[in-house]
Each structure stands twice: as structure tokens, then as C-alpha cells.
């Protein structure tokens, strides 16, 4: 008889986990997936294209209803899990129904961080995280609508791009001194800023938000220096926090995220966690690729394979209206490292590779990102690069010819 396995969360991590598990142990588990959002799992990375009206919600669905059905998955979306009883091995849903499990996987993702600014509860202040947020923005935005986006990371840039494409007059406000400061060095960030401004988006860095002004709804964002930026809509995209409330209430060990070991098992046996809700070795990942790696490792473990999760090398891709950016690993370098830099401002390309002890440890690519995944593979595997070091910055084809 199939062992009952429940996945709480119907996002990208959950969909990948089911895909990996079905490929290895189809029929071993009676799978049930519970999702709060009232739709099939979708590619959250592509929400900006929906905001830009370049794609529809149907276009970004990860799997069809038939795909889930063909793998014997009981799919309950639009019905949140309200509580978990770790001792009784049950999950209670919002509609009052109770499901029993033998094994449970938390894939509850993350929640957007809201700024505690005066006036931030006014109508017209929206976070950018899910399809409901996108629908709310699209309902408000017309050609010329004045929009302020707070946050110059991945989410903020994607929101700014989508709103700009839909005709809004967009100003992006970022607290730090450069865009994507966690993923780019100063040179690449400056190139990105110029490219974003060329799209018609105003960019303010080193700009601290102080308050949201308005009577019955948003009218402006006031900065700490006193400047007021008129706005009919303010998008807050300043980051995410692991969604751990359900797990914490169930008695699982949580810190920033749900604490898991190298098997992705929580403090309670046979209860696991993957994706943005996870804290592994005191680290949380807010990106898709680590979630996919965790989904693959957990699927292999539950299929009976001997495998562990050792952490992920972070890599970031950004593609906004012809602007291509990639970064991976320790791209800032420091003591004991060597930088190799190739820059051509004329054609808008920049590469910075960081080496330590004859191995690639970090990379930043701007403009030409075609070899990004190859550089990432070198970083992850710790491949010695001495035999093709002089050609490394010119890309895979040149480096492989040098090594031959």
C-alpha cells in the first residue's frame, strides 16, 4: 500500500519535488499537494512578464492539471493548510478537512517583507510576490500612472520593468549605493543602472524612504532627505522572509527558516522542508536554483537513495529588455584571490572572474552571459583552471581549445 506523503505548498519547489520523486519512485507514495493560491503551480520568475502584459497567467503555469493527474497526485489548491499535528501526523485544511500523513514536506516558500513606514497601510501600497499582486497592479496602472518601486534587487527591477512596459511612469528607489548589491560589483551595477535608465525608468540610489503620504490613498513617497516623489502606486520589493509560521506552530525548530539537516529533515522525524522556507547550515536561500537542488536531493532520499544536501553555490540571472546579467559564487573576492577582468564599454559587456588557488570561485557577467552556466559548473566542481587560465575570460570555446 502506498505511503501517504503530503506536500504543503504548491509553488516551484513543490512542483520540482513531485517531478523528481515521480521519476524515481512512482507509486511508492500516495501524494497530496496543498496550495493556498487558487491556481496551478506557476513560474514566479516570469511574473514580471505578466505585469508587462507580455505573457498570460496560463503561459507561466509549470504543469498542466493532466500532468498532476497522470502521476496520481491529489492536488488541493485554493485551500490553505491551517495547522499541522506532528504527533498525530495530520494536516488540517482551511475547509476543516483533516488529512493523515506518514511523511510531510513543507514547501511554504517565503513572504514579502513590508516596510514599517508611516502611511504604508494606505491603499495603493502593494508588495510584488504573487499573481494577486500582479492583478492588483494591472488593475491600477494606465499609461502615465506615476509609480514608485522601493527596492533595487531582482524583484524591484523586474517590477519596475514590467510597470514601465505597461506604460507607467516609474521611479525606482533603492537604499543601497548600487543596484543588486548582493549580486553585482560596483562596475557591473553602474552599467545596469545606465541600462535601466535608458528604458525610461528613473533610478535613485542611496535613497532612504521615510514615509508614504496621502489622505485616502497614496499620493507620494517622501525620502529621508525631504524630497517627495508623486505616486499613485507604490510597490514594495525589498526582499522576502521564510514562511515558517505553520511549521513553528507545529513545534518544529525554526530560526530564520525551518531548520533542516543534510537530509532536509526537520527537528521532527519524517517531516522535511525544501525551498525558500528552509534554513540549512544557518543559511537561507531566496532563489530558485537552491530550491530545485533541495527538491532533487529530497526526492532521491525518499526514493531510497543515499544522498545528502551540502548547500548551494548561489547564482543569479537577470534578463530585462535586452539587459543580461549573471553572477555566481564569491564574485567580490578579497585577500588571497585574483581578479581577471575584461570590459568593453562600447558594446556594453563586462566580465569579472575571481580565482583562488588555481580555481574559479566567483564570476560577474554583464551583457554577454552565454557562458554563465559553464562558469557556474567550474565553481561548483572546483575544477583546476591552470591549463586554460589565460583563455578563461574569453569563454568556454576558447578555454577548451587552450586546454586541448
CATH code at position 260: 3.50.50.60
| Residue 177: other Cβ atoms inside 10 A | 11
Provide the domain limits for residue 132. Answer: 125-236
Q: Does 251 share its domain with 394?
A: no
Residue for grid cell 518544529: 252
Q: What pLDDT digit, counting tens, does each position of 246-279 carry?
A: 999 999 999 999 999 999 999 999 999 999 999 9
pLDDT score, position 321: 65
What does pLDDT average to over the chain?
95
Collapsing DSSP to helix, strand or coil, 189 comes out as helix
Q: What pLDDT digit, counting tens, does each position of 115-124 carry?
A: 999 999 999 9
Q: Does 269 share its domain with 339?
A: no
Q: Does 106 share its domain with 253?
A: yes
Here the cell at position 381 is: 566542481
The answer as to whether 59 is a domain residue is yes
The answer as to whether 256 is a domain residue is yes
The answer as to whether 309 is a domain residue is no
pLDDT score, position 401: 87
**CA within 13 Å, CB half, 332:** 8
Look at the chain and count its residues.
Answer: 404
Q: What pLDDT digit, counting tens, does each position of 73-107 carry?
A: 999 999 999 999 999 999 999 999 999 999 999 99
Q: How confident is the model at residue 110 (pLDDT cuts 50, 70, 90)?
A: very high
* pLDDT at residue 352 is higher than 80: yes
The answer as to whether 317 is a domain residue is no
**pTM, entire model:** 0.93
What's the number of domains the chain is made of? 3
Q: What pLDDT digit, counting tens, does each position of 278-334 carry?
A: 999 999 998 899 999 999 999 999 999 999 999 999 898 887 767 899 999 999 888
Query: CB neighbours of 355 closer than 8 A, spacing ≥ 6?
Result: 337, 338, 339, 340, 361, 385, 389
Give the mean pLDDT of 192-206: 96
Here the cell at position 199 is: 528604458
Q: Does 180 share its domain with 222?
A: yes
Q: Does 231 share its domain with 251?
A: no
User: How does DSSP assign 114-183, residue by residue?
Assistant: PP--TTTTSTTEEE-SSHHHHHHHHHH--TT-EEEEE--SHHHHHHHHHHHHTT-EEEEE-SSSSTTTTT
Q: Does 100 share its domain with 249?
A: yes
The answer as to whether 250 is a domain residue is yes
CATH code at position 392: 3.30.390.30
The answer as to whether 251 is a domain residue is yes
Q: Does 104 share its domain with 10?
A: yes
pLDDT score, position 400: 87
The answer as to whether 135 is a domain residue is yes
Closest CA to 159 of 119, 151, 41: 151
* pLDDT at residue 404 is higher than 80: no
Q: What pLDDT digit, counting tens, does each position of 354-379 carry?
A: 999 999 999 999 999 999 999 999 99
Here the cell at position 329 is: 559564487
* pLDDT at residue 155 is higher than 80: yes
Using a pLDDT cut of 90, give the percent of the chain over it: 90
Final residue of a structural domain among 273, 302, 331: 302
Q: Does 225 share its domain with 247?
A: no
The answer as to whether 179 is a domain residue is yes
**Strand partners of residue 240:** 112
Amino acid at each position: 500500500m502506498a505511503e501517504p506523503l503530503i506536500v504543503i505548498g504548491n509553488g516551484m519547489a513543490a512542483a520540482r519535488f513531485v517531478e523528481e520523486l515521480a521519476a524515481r519512485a512512482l507509486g511508492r507514495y500516495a501524494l497530496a499537494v496543498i496550495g493556498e493560491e487558487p491556481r496551478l503551480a506557476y513560474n514566479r520568475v516570469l511574473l514580471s512578464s505578466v505585469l508587462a502584459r507580455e505573457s498570460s497567467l496560463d503561459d507561466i503555469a509549470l504543469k498542466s492539471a493532466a500532468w498532476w493527474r497522470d502521476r496520481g497526485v491529489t492536488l488541493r489548491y485554493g485551500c490553505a493548510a491551517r495547522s499541522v499535528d506532528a504527533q498525530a501526523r495530520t494536516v488540517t485544511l482551511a475547509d476543516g478537512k483533516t488529512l493523515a500523513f506518514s511523511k510531510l514536506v513543507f514547501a511554504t516558500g517565503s513572504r514579502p517583507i513590508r516596510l514599517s513606514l508611516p502611511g504604508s497601510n494606505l491603499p495603493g501600497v502593494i508588495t510584488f510576490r504573487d499573481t494577486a499582486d500582479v492583478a492588483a497592479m494591472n488593475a491600477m496602472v494606465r499609461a502615465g500612472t506615476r509609480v514608485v518601486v522601493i527596492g533595487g534587487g531582482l524583484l524591484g527591477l523586474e517590477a519596475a520593468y514590467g510597470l514601465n512596459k505597461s506604460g507607467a511612469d516609474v521611479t525606482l528607489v533603492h537604499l543601497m549605493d548600487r543596484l543588486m548589491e548582493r549580486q553585482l560589483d560596483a562596475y557591473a551595477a553602474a552599467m545596469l543602472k545606465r541600462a535601466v535608465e535608458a528604458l525610461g525608468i528613473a533610478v535613485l540610489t542611496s535613497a532612504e524612504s521615510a514615509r508614504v503620504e496621502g489622505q485616502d490613498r497614496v499620493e507620494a513617497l517622501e525620502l529621508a532627505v525631504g524630497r517627495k516623489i508623486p505616486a499613485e502606486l507604490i510597490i514594495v520589493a525589498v526582499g522576502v522572509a521564510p514562511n515558517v509560521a505553520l511549521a513553528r506552530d507545529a513545534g518544529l525548530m525554526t530560526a530564520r527558516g525551518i531548520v533542516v539537516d543534510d537530509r532536509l529533515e526537520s527537528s521532527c522525524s519524517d517531516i522535511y522542508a525544501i525551498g525558500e522556507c528552509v534554513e540549512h547550515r544557518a543559511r537561507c536561500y531566496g532563489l530558485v536554483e537552491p530550491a530545485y537542488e533541495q527538491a532533487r536531493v529530497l526526492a532521491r532520499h525518499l526514493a531510497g537513495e543515499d544522498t545528502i544536501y551540502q548547500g548551494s553555490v548561489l547564482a543569479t540571472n537577470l534578463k530585462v529588455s535586452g539587459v543580461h546579467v549573471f553572477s555566481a559564487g564569491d564574485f567580490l573576492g578579497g585577500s588571497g584571490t585574483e581578479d581577471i577582468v575584461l570590459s568593453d564599454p562600447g558594446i556594453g559587456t563586462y566580465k569579472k572572474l575571481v580565482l583562488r588557488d588555481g580555481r574559479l570561485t566567483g564570476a560577474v557577467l554583464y551583457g554577454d552571459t552565454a557562458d554563465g552556466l559553464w562558469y557556474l559548473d567550474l565553481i561548483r566542481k572546483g575544477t583546476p583552471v591552470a591549463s586554460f587560465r589565460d583563455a578563461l575570460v574569453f569563454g568556454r570555446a576558447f578555454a577548451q581549445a587552450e586546454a586541448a
